Every structure is written in C-alpha cells, then in structure tokens.
Structure 1
Amino acid sequence: MLHNEPEHQESLEKNQAKQPNSMPKNFLVPFLLLCLKDWSLHGYKLIQMLMDIGFSSVDQGNVYRTLRKLEKENLISSTWDTSEGGPAKRIYSLTEYGEQYLTTCATSFEHYQNMLRTFFTLYTNAFFPFSTSPEKDEKDSSSSPGGTAE
C-alpha cells in the first residue's frame, strides 16, 4: 500500500487537524500554580501571565473554573480585595499543599523532558542521519578509534 493514496492522505490531514495549537489542558494547572508561587494574583492577571508564558489562547471561563477546583482541592486559597475602587477582586495564593503538588509536577515534567529529548534524538537520527547534533558529535567522538574518551 502506498502512502500517497487518497485515503491515507485524508487520514493524515484529519490527524493533523486534531493537533492542538495551544498547550494541553493538563499544563494549565501547574502553570497556574507556578504563577502563584511568589505572588498573590487575581484571575485576570493570571490569564495575562499565561498568555505571556506562551498559552496562545486562554479560555477565561476554563481558567476560573480551574481556579475554583484548585481551591476546593486546597492547592490554592483566595481572599477578596476591596482596597481598590470598583468591584472586589478575588486574589489567589498558593497553599503549602499547592507547593508540594507543584514540586511533584516538576518531577513529572523532568521525566517527560527526558522522554522528549530521546524522541527528538531518535527522530533526528531517523530523518536526518547526516546532521550534526551536539549529543551525536559527543557520542561519535568518544566511540571512534581516534576519539578522546575521558
């Protein structure tokens, strides 16, 4: 079966259309917690920070629902700020339990980062076998007869 058959092309296009242009949903929680690590912030400021970090589109309703869920799970706490003129704003802060959860997320992300590094190394070697990457150059020089192994 050839890969340029119409059925295969249509399937490929459908799969590409499913690929999100934004961060996966499960990234929202750790990034919200990270934004609250050193600051107490209101929801609008959190949304701005998420966009600055690289979330291309932020569903405000989803952010506020997630914040309420995180508060119920005791990962964050909130208070009402009435110090400024205008309507009161809910200010969110990271709890001690939230900091522990954030540490767990960081550990998991390190594992995923290593897996991604392996994926891209294999991908590069499979599709661009003659390209040079620092990892490949280092491995090649240490294993070759004239290379220097330290």
Structure 2
Amino acid sequence: MPNANQCACTGKTLPRLLRPGIMAFLAQGDAHGYQIAQHLSGMRMFAGREPDHAGIYRALKEMADQGLVASSWQPGDAGPSKRVFALTEAGRDCLETWLSTLCDYRDAINELLALMRRAKQENDWRNDR
C-alpha cells in the first residue's frame, strides 16, 4: 500500500455526517453553535478531533436557508448575545429520513463486513501472494 495514512481504507475520507449529527443534537433541544461543536467533538465520527467550527456554522446557515433549522438571538449570561438554533418541523422530517437512510446504509455495511470476514476466514488473503 503506497501511503497507508492517506488510504481511504483508514476511514479518513468517510463523510462526517455533520448535518444529521447537528439535527439529532437539536432534536434534543435548542442550542448555540459552540454547544453543537462540543457535542459533536465527543462523537466517534470525529475520532476525538475538534470539528471545524466554520463548517458547522456553514451547515447551520445552509440548513436555515432550507428551512430545516431556525435561529434566534438570546442574551448571554455574562457576555454577548448568542444565536440559538432550533430544529423546525421540516428539520424533524429530514432527520426521520436520515434515520431511515442511515439504517439502510448500516445494513448494507453489515452485509459487506460479513462477506469480508467470510472471505478472510475461508482464505487468509494476506498470505495468498
């Protein structure tokens, strides 16, 4: 393998699933951008890395433009006002579709994993050369 760290097989090129992550968090209650980023950073899909805050705000703006989230300004406790985001009804519908799509995707991945494990067990592909 030329450069194992850059190979797609490491999972580094998998999509981060940012939008459904944001929507799932907002389905639990309204939140501002920093709270969303903190929550996402604890998820496996970010592998312990801090998510790109600009990417989160870009996704929130796009989702607001699509009517999936709404925002309002709320005064901060000891500082400036914060923009708080809430999932809209359209966002809840979209999240429901994400749930179905990701469950289907998970099932397809499980099928592929079973095939790979079976192939490895029946024929140790690492020593076939």
TM-score, normalised on structure 2? 0.83
Which of 114, 117, 127 is residue 121 of structure 1 equivalent to? 114
Deviation at 1:72, TM superposition (A): 0.7
For 2:113, the aligned partner's letter is F
> Secondary structure at 1:128's aligned position in 2?
helix
Q: How does 1:1-150 map to 2 (within 5 A)?
A: 9-10=1-2, 13=3, 17-19=6-8, 20-21=11-12, 24-25=15-16, 27-54=17-44, 55-56=46-47, 57=49, 58-129=51-122
Return structure 1 stretches of 4+ with deviation > 6 angstroms: none
Distance in 1 (CA, whole Å) between partners of 2:100 and 2:39 is 23
Structure 2 unpaired stretches of 5+: 124-129
Do the aligned partners of 2:76 and 2:82 also contact (CA within 8 Å) in 1? Answer: no
- State the percentage of identical aligned residues: 25
> Secondary structure at 2:70's aligned position in 1?
strand
> Secondary structure at 1:80's aligned position in 2?
strand
The superposition leaves residues 39-96 of structure 1 with CA deviations (integer Å, 9 ceiling, x where unpaired) of 1000000000001122233111111111111111100000101152211100000000
> Secondary structure at 1:91's aligned position in 2?
strand
TM-score, normalised on structure 1? 0.72
Deviates more, 1:68-77 or 1:16-25: 16-25
Distance in 2 (CA, whole Å) between partners of 1:50 and 1:90 is 18
What is the root-mean-square deviation of aligned Cα atoms in Å?
1.9
Structure 1 unpaired stretches of 5+: 1-8, 131-150
